[in-house]
Amino acid sequence: MGEAGIVSELFLERLNYCIYVILLLIGLWAMLAKRNLIKKLIGMSVFQTAIILFYVSIAVKEEATIPIYLPEHDPHGAHHQAGEDKNESHVSEHAHGPKVLDPKTIKGYANPLPHVLMLTAIVVGVATLGLALALTQRIYQGYGTIEEDELLEKLDRADERASLSPLITSKRNAERRKKAQQAKAKTSSSSVSKKAKEGTSSTAKVSKKKSPSGSSQPSVKKGAKKKA
Amino acid sequence: MMKFFSLIPVIAIGVLLLWAGQDFPEWGDVESPASQSPVSSHFIGNTGVDTEVPNMVTAVLADYRGFDTMFETVVVFIAGIAVIAILSGSTTGRRRRKDHEVEAEPDIIVTNTVRLIIPILQIFAFYVLAHGHVSPGGGFQGGVVMGASFILIAISWDLEKAMSRFPIKMCMIVAALGIILYGGIGLLSMFLGGEFLDYAELEKVLPVSREMARYHAMLGVEIGVGFTVTAIMFALYANLASEGRLKEGL
Amino acid sequence: MIGLEIFNTFILFFLVVAAVTSLWVKDLLVSAVVFGVYSFLMCLLWAEMGAVDVAFTEATVGAGISTVVMVATIFHLRRKSND
């Protein structure tokens, strides 16, 4: 039953690595499967912090202290001690200058190298998060939604509209501009019939905007319903 | 549907990682390869002799791997500029009234408490920056605490009061100043005959020994990093809270 | 050192719970705040592991700036998410 050995070894002694892997998977799945953009960003951040957690946990040494020199190895301890022992005649053993540590004392300090690398990683992570949130705000201003499926629909429709040939779109723009000028000229005089005519022209304008390739009948009905 | 399909590669990666996880060293093992590596042993053993800085992490960050830190500061700067560039083309002309939004005056209790807290916060930021050599701290942490003090002004009163203390143009100038300081110290040591960012050569201009020259140059470099991080954190908040218009915000 | 093992396992378990909660709820503001809780738990774990510089940075940057910036963004977006 080598499998049982693997399971117990993995889950009992190295439980923390299992939890790091679980956090990694949660972050990765959130980035792939969630539809809301903010949830994707939270997934990205969970992913990054899980990696940083894994990296920093490699630097742990049992019975080791933090990576700041203790007073007996302190390089400035010499000056400090020399100042205090001015009145004494004998020289205390800390009064020589900083020296290279021997391997036995090196084992008493935690490893500083992963801490340094992960400091950089945290700061770069927050810069990335800030930039991604700015992009999300711009997307919301442009499209009015931050759900991925609605966004894809709107992008498809925008692509459709943009892929019409430029001749058709310029003609349509010219017609629209002419109608807008006519409508503006008509509203300067305030008679009811002119207002009714402006109503039909504006519904025609609305229908032309909404369905470029549909027939006129249902679109006029849609425009009338909108007005009502 | 996507939720189900994306589970397949995720679970595959999970199984692969867990299977590789059997070979990892146990937590806290002193004999693990990462703890035995000669590079970290060199850092732990020689920091006192080379630089006379008790905090190994600050020494490695600002001196032994100073090149990484310089480009990390540049990355933060670029992120801040990119946020300003993205959000300056903002299009909300009319103010959409949201359902969770209320009009509020600055509260009297909050403003008076914050008036007492902010000077202490800023002095603490300077302390963290300057004490990075002997205690946990350094340029990044001090810079972020300083930036947070300006964000506190923006939250308790309104954004205009914070912008009147620290306008966006000043933010950009301060951020650029931080990087110029960092690169300037590196270039100075290059002109004095060493390599780029070799602080020991600064003993020719400062009246101290080689090790103490590295000590003081590290402080200068951390101040540069602190400037950049302060300005960019505040610029990030100001732009995001007001959608780039910098008129009113949270 | 059995107490430390129990402490570590406890905090790691809470980390997973916080991550899952942050991604499950439909209200984006709750997501952002629980994300701040996640950052603080990370900071606690690192402080216990002896990585004090990393814990300090995560406390200021992760739980401070990251949460505030996310709440400031969500204020301008719709607060309810569909999934």
What pLDDT digit, counting tens, does each position of A189-221 carry? 666 655 555 555 555 444 444 444 444 444 444
DSSP state of C63: I
Q: CA B133, B138, B140 angle in degrees (round to 5)?
A: 165
Interface test with A, best of C20, C54, C66, C79 (most A CBs within 10 A): C54
Query: Given this model, what pLDDT does residue A190 score?
Result: 61
- Asked whether the beta carbons of A56 and B27 are under 8 A apart, the reply is no
Taking the CA of residue A160 and the nearest CA in chain C, the distance in Å comes to: 26
DSSP state of B106: P
How far CA B85 is from CA of A96, B16, B52, B240, C31, in Å, comes to 56, 42, 43, 12, 28
The gap between the terminal CA atoms of chain C, to the nearest Å, is: 43
Q: Across the interface, do C53 and A45 touch by the CB < 8 Å criterion?
A: no
**pLDDT tier for residue A98 given thresholds of 50, 70 and 90:** low
Say yes or no to pLDDT of B34 above 80: no
How many CB pairs below 8 A link A and B? 177
* pTM listed for this prediction: 0.82
pLDDT (mean) for A83-103: 53
Q: For chain B, which residues lie within 8 Å of any Cβ of chain C, measuring from their own Cβ? A: 55, 57-58, 98, 100-101, 136-138, 140-141, 144-145, 147-148, 151, 155, 233, 236-237, 240-241, 243, 249-250
**Facing B60 at nearest CB: one of A98, A107, A112:** A112
How many CB pairs below 8 A link B and C? 50
| Chain B residues whose beta carbon lies within 8 Å of the beta carbon of residue C61 | 140, 144
The full set of domain ranges for chain A reads 9-67+107-163
The set of residues, in sequence order, having a beta carbon less than 8 Å from that of B171 and lying 6+ positions away, is B80, B231, B232, B234, B235, B238
Mean pLDDT value across chain C: 90
| Chain B residues whose beta carbon lies within 8 Å of the beta carbon of residue A129 | none
**Range name among A133-147, A207-221, B201-215, B218-232 with the lowest pLDDT average:** A207-221
**Facing B90 at nearest CB: one of A13, A101, A141:** A141
Q: Across the interface, do C83 and A35 touch by the CB < 8 Å criterion?
A: yes
The phi-psi region of residue A165 (left if phi > 0; otherwise alpha if psi is between -120 and 50; otherwise beta) is: beta
Tens of pLDDT, residues A134-182 = 999 888 888 888 888 888 888 888 888 887 777 777 888 888 888 888 8
A7 touches chain B (CB under 8 A): no
**Facing A35 at nearest CB: one of C9, C38, C82:** C82
B12 touches chain A (CB under 8 A): no
Q: Across the interface, do B58 and C53 touch by the CB < 8 Å criterion?
A: yes
Q: B46-56: buried (b, 16+ CB within 10 Å) or exposed (e) per residue? A: bbbebbbbbbb
- Asked whether the beta carbons of B163 and B246 are under 8 A apart, the reply is yes
User: How far is residue A213's CA from residue C8's CA, in Å, rounded to a whole number?
Assistant: 64
In B, minimum Cα distance to C64 occurs at: B148
Query: Given this model, what pLDDT does residue C21 score?
Result: 93
Against chain A, the chains showing at least 3 CB pairs within 8 Å are B, C
Q: Across the interface, do A14 and B79 touch by the CB < 8 Å criterion?
A: no
pLDDT (mean) for C18-27: 92
User: How far is residue A46's CA from residue B6's CA, in Å, rounded to a whole number?
Assistant: 17
Q: Across the interface, do A66 and C45 touch by the CB < 8 Å criterion?
A: no
**Facing A130 at nearest CB: one of B46, B79, B140:** B79
**Facing B250 at nearest CB: one of C53, C55, C72:** C72
| Chain B residues whose beta carbon lies within 8 Å of the beta carbon of residue C73 | 240
More confident of the two residues A206 and B199: B199
**Range name among A158-162, B187-191, B227-231 with the lowest pLDDT average:** A158-162
Q: Across the interface, do B148 and C65 touch by the CB < 8 Å criterion?
A: yes
Taking the CA of residue A63 and the nearest CA in chain B, the distance in Å comes to: 8
Taking the CA of residue A97 and the nearest CA in chain C, the distance in Å comes to: 27
Say yes or no to pLDDT of B142 above 90: yes
Query: Given this model, what pLDDT does residue B94 score?
Result: 52
Burial (CB count <10 Å: 0-12, 13-18, 19+), residue A192: exposed
**Facing B240 at nearest CB: one of C52, C72, C79:** C72
A162 touches chain B (CB under 8 A): no
Taking the CA of residue A118 and the nearest CA in chain B, the distance in Å comes to: 11
A68 touches chain B (CB under 8 A): yes
- Asked whether the beta carbons of B148 and B102 are under 8 A apart, the reply is no
Query: Given this model, what pLDDT does residue B42 score?
Result: 85
Question: Which architecture, in CATH terms, is A9-67+107-163?
Answer: Orthogonal Bundle (1.10)
> Per-residue DSSP letters for A87-150?
S-SSPPTT-S---PPPHHHHTTB---HHHHHHHHHHHHHHHHHHHHHHHHHHHHHHHS--BHHH
Tens of pLDDT, residues C42-74 = 999 998 888 899 999 999 998 889 999 999 898
- Asked whether the beta carbons of B150 and C66 are under 8 A apart, the reply is no
Q: Hey, what long-range contacts does A125-128 have (CB within 8 A, 24 or more apart)?
A: A125/A45, A125/A48, A125/A49, A125/A52, A126/C61, A126/C62, A126/C65, A126/C66, A127/B75, A127/B76, A127/B79, A127/B80, A127/B232, A128/A44, A128/B79
Query: Given this model, what pLDDT does residue A227 score?
Result: 45
- Asked whether the beta carbons of B144 and B228 are under 8 A apart, the reply is no
The phi-psi region of residue B243 (left if phi > 0; otherwise alpha if psi is between -120 and 50; otherwise beta) is: left
- Asked whether the beta carbons of A46 and A30 are under 8 A apart, the reply is yes
A129 touches chain B (CB under 8 A): no
A49 touches chain B (CB under 8 A): no
Taking the CA of residue B190 and the nearest CA in chain A, the distance in Å comes to: 25
